[in-house]
Amino acid sequence: MFSAQRVSEHRGSDDLLTAGLGLAGLRALAPPAFAQADAPTVAELRRRAIWANWRGIADLAPGGGYGELYGSTAGVPGREFSALATVPGASKPHRVLVQVPDAFDAGKRCVVVAASSGSRGIYGAISVAAAWGLPKGCAIAYTDKGAGTDYFDLDAGEGVRADGTVGARDATLAFPPDAGVGVTGIAFKHAHSTDNPEADWGRHVKQAAQFALQVLDEALPQSAPFTFANTRVIAVGISNGGGAVLRAAELEGRGDEAGWLDAVVAGEPSVLAQDGRALYDYTTEAALLMPCALLDPALGPLPQPPLAAQVAPLWTQRCASLKAAGLVEGGDTAAQARSAHAQLKAQGWTDEALRAGALSVGFDLWRAVAVTYASAYGRYRVGEHPCGYSYSALNPDFSARTATAAERAAWWADGSGIPPGAGVGIVDTRMQAPDPGFAGLQCLRALWQGQGVDADRVRKGVAETRAGLPREGLPIIVIHGRDDGLIPPAFTSAPYVRQAQAAGREVRYWQVRNAQHFDAFLGLPDYGARYLPLLPYVYEALDRVSARLDTGAALPADAVIDTVPRGAGKPVSAANLAMPR
């Protein structure tokens, strides 16, 4: 089940939680440097990956409250155990990693198992799980759930090894892609494994927990055996990681694995439940319509960035493209924007989600998600994307070029999973003026709404990700920001909770006002003034389920949490968070 196993020690200036960086080092704007740009060491890659993943998830900005009101970055010495794991039926592995603190509490025997958010690499949940669990003496088990930053350069014939360094295609590669003759560019696991990894996210989480028990037997033989019967396992994740732990909650264990999971905390989960909407559906819809809709003054003023003056011409052109394609009504931009806005509202989008969604429009995130997921859901190999997209290093004019050795060397540490980023961009063969991305987006949308073999393949893959009911008696807390503009609660967590509660499952739901999807962007002044972080509520929910397991205390009631925005230039306070008590 597990291969390419490695063990490393992390003490003194290189700990488990921050790789020795501490809060000040994590706040640094520049990443930890490589002594040799094209040949970083394993330790340098790990430190930089931890820096990048902390900064990609948590609000670490001064005044944001991290390390003061909530959370910890105090050094935790210990060991890391990593491996590649493959679920039955999959052709490619996912990464698993377990952190065992020197202060592991063998009396309480706690494992926190976490799935990376988004498509992040193996440290993609470190600020979510480790910051809560390591100081409590728990081991932390991670999975990249078949996504991650294991890129492969088809031009150079090199990819990421199990240790994060780059090498030629051989048994040490974490993701050796299947590619046809003459295919060029860059392949990555989430898009090109042909496994539709999202369908197996729950099984990835369980395998990470199984690896944790194996590791604890090895690390602490005097306290072995560690089993699901004598070791507490709590699963936690946010975004895609939140969806993954909810899928894990469905899995019934047999024999000595019965009741393998003891509690679940899911933040802003990407989950497809009965009466919900599929990520691919609302993402392709938003990619087309949202740029135009955001020009409707009824949604203003939008959070900045994206800067209104810079995006207005692009969004105006999108309105014109939609009008020419018969997708909106209206004789001028204002009327077209109202038409696009009305369509999105009719499909269940709230104005709060649309305003926060401006960030995803500005960063071209809707297209990035749709391109990757079309490939993943349809189980396409690299070079087979049904809309002609591919991935490559890019020239300033967006034409493909060969990646440099230094770019390849940094992929595993710097990548956030889904390109564009870390020197890897999207190549769009349908690009044409005056609205360069429009034709490609229409193709992506047709894979959901249209007919044909490719559309059938994509919709089949989406159907394979539908969530079922969690196990009876399993305590679960779901937390979601009411303003989430990337994974709107109306399409995801709300229908999941309704479905679970209607079946009598022990699921509680915290809806947090004035919270959107990305804590990491709260360092931007306008976002910090408008929105509160979600991570403190995830930590609090972990405290609550832990108390439930310790003492039998009741789970908290469902709540709509009436937070108070801090306003411009003010630090976050406990009063702003209005934490349920």
Q: Which residues have CB under 8 Å from 148's CB, separation 6+?
A: 94, 95, 116, 119, 120, 121, 122, 124, 174, 189, 190, 417
Cα 483 to Cα 360: distance, rounded to the nearest angstrom: 13
Catalytic residues: 239
- Count CB neighbours of 168 within 10 A: 11
Cα 441 to Cα 396: distance, rounded to the nearest angstrom: 22
Is 139 in contact with 112 (CB distance < 8 Å)?
yes
User: Quick one: DSSP state of residue 175?
Assistant: -
- Ramachandran angles phi, psi of 122, nearest 5°: -65, -25
List 78's β-bridge partners, or say none: 10, 101
**DSSP letter string, 345-390:** HHTT--HHHHHHHHHHHHTTHHHHHHHHHHHHHTTPPBT--TT--E
Is 520 in contact with 56 (CB distance < 8 Å)?
yes
Q: Which residues have CB under 8 Å from 399's CB, separation 6+?
A: none
Which of helix, strand or coil describes residue 433? Answer: coil
Q: Which residues have CB under 8 Å from 578's CB, separation 6+?
A: 561, 562, 563, 564
